[in-house]
Amino acid sequence: MPATPRRVTQRDIARLAGVSQATVSLVLNNRADADVRIAPETRDRVLRVIAETGYAADPVARRLAARFNRIIGVFTYEPAFPSGSRDFFHPFLLGIEEYAERVGCDLLLFTSAPVVDGRRRIFHQDNRLRLADGCILLGQEIDGEELHRLNRDGYPYVAVGRRDDAGGPVPYVGADYATAVRRLVEMALDRGHRRLTYLGMGITAESSEDRRRGYLAAAAAAESARHRSATAADAETVLDDLLADRSTVAFVEDFATVVALERAARRRGLAVPRDLSLLSLGDPTVPVPTDLAFTGFRIPREEMGRQAVEVLARVIDGSASDVPQRLLPCELVEGDTLGTPGQAASRP
């Protein structure tokens, strides 16, 4: 299929007209700033570029322009920039930035929140949440009490990732992990696997619960469908357990753990997927080098960021009729780590 043409943005208009993006915004909204006078020839040049490119302002941007500051806040419960997590958060931030530009909004990253009991907190004595028209929340585990307070205060926000009720429904844009995992289990069953093990991270986040739910929904046809916690640090012990159980396939929630398991199997002379199939349930949250293409799925992180801004803009301007909750499909990855269990009986 041909690629969808990229939408012309205000940044493109500004570059082609040789002016600032703020000038383009003023021309589009047919007003002048008290401190900035736009020369007639500059206005004409901007309007000419708009006509030549066929630019059409996003309707959400038009609604926001008249009544709001057009500042969108971004709050991350985990640091977004250290090397350990930047690869995971980066696509979300790319999508957020792209759609914020489309609707002519600036982004305000809240970085002054103190860490309490190992977690950042939105609400503290110096919080400046009200500087933004609304806020996007990023984090693997978002504090339920803070969601409850945001709901109670009526402050516009959207969570990235499905969230449970917090004194009322939570607006979110998430990934459909349950369907993705269910489809992977069905693939394994179609290959003849009957002894399955789910290796979770031992956390109660909704994203983990959704993965487990998808696993259980499809695993009823299996002879054995277990669930246990696992980390990369105890890969050797987990591998012993898989072999003792005669599991032929493991569905691994954490990417670092699935890589560690494959390396542990290789050290024992076992091959993936000949002796054991290993499936990865998402993208790595920390960089883990490996040359192996794991069967699993990709999280639509960039699109989640884009749609989070779109949803937030509608929450802010009141055009969202209900509390918006979206789950986006994950892309299955065929990979090289799902085989058939034909040699399981010959394991040591």
Query: Which domains can be identified in the chain, with CATH numbers?
Result: 10-57 (1.10.260.40), 71-175+301-329 (3.40.50.2300), 177-298+333-346 (3.40.50.2300)
Say if pTM beats, i.e. exceeds, 0.75.
yes
Q: Is the pLDDT of residue 3 over 50?
A: no
Q: How far is CA 348 from CA 246, 259, 268, 275, 339, in A?
A: 10, 22, 10, 10, 19
Chain-centroid distance, C-alpha 33: 37
Contact 92, 305 (CB under 8 A): yes
How far apart, in whole angstroms, are the C-alpha atoms of residue 122 and residue 42?
Answer: 43
| Mean pLDDT in residue range 252-277 | 95
Query: Which residue in 141, 139, 135 sits closest to 156, CA to CA?
Result: 135
Contact 157, 138 (CB under 8 A): no
Query: Which residue in 298, 304, 302 sits closest to 328, CA to CA?
Result: 304
Q: What is the 3-state secondary structure (H, E, C) of the chain?
A: CCCCCCCCCHHHHHHHHCCCHHHHHHHHCCCCECCECCCHHHHHHHHHHHHHHCCCCCHHHHHHHHHCCCEEEEEECCCCCCCCCHHHHHHHHHHHHHHHHHCCCEEEEECCCCEECCEECCCCCCCCHHHCCEEEEECCCCCHHHHHHHHHHCCCEEEECCCCCCCCCCCEEEECHHHHHHHHHHHHHHCCCCEEEEEECCCCCHHHHHHHHHHHHHHHHCCEEEEEECCHHHHHHHHHHHHHHCCCEEEECCHHHHHHHHHHHHHCCCCCCCCCEEEECCCCCCCCCCCCCCEEEECCHHHHHHHHHHHHHHHHHCCCCCCCEEEECCEEECCCCCCCCCCHHHCC
| Mean pLDDT in residue range 185-210 | 94
CA dihedral 318, 319, 321, 325 (to 10 degrees): -90
Contact 309, 99 (CB under 8 A): yes
Q: By mean pLDDT, which of 96-110, 184-198, 211-225 is the weakest?
A: 96-110
> 60-69, 232-241, 318-327 — which one is most confidently predicted on average?
232-241
CA dihedral 116, 119, 120, 123 (to 10 degrees): -60
| Mean pLDDT in residue range 204-232 | 93
Q: Is the pLDDT of residue 28 over 80?
A: no
CA dihedral 139, 145, 149, 154 (to 10 degrees): 50
How far apart, in whole angstroms, are the C-alpha atoms of residue 188 and residue 194?
Answer: 8
Q: By mean pLDDT, which of 18-27, 29-38, 199-208, 302-311 is the weakest?
A: 29-38
Contact 94, 302 (CB under 8 A): yes
pLDDT digits (tens, 9 = 90+) for 49-76: 887 877 766 655 555 555 567 889 999 8
pLDDT above 70 coverage of the chain, percent: 87
Band of residue 277 on the pLDDT scale cut at 50, 70, 90: very high
Pairing of strands 119-120, 115-116: antiparallel
How far apart, in whole angstroms, are the C-alpha atoms of residue 109 and residue 102?
Answer: 18
pLDDT digits (tens, 9 = 90+) for 136-179: 999 877 888 889 989 888 899 999 999 987 778 999 999 999 99
pLDDT digits (tens, 9 = 90+) for 278-295: 999 988 877 788 889 999
Widest Cα–Cα separation across the chain: 83
User: What confidence score (pLDDT) does residue 144 get?
Assistant: 85
Q: Is the pLDDT of residue 316 over 60?
A: yes
Average pLDDT, the chain: 85
Q: Is the pLDDT of residue 4 over 50?
A: no
Encoding tokens for residue 165?
């009720």
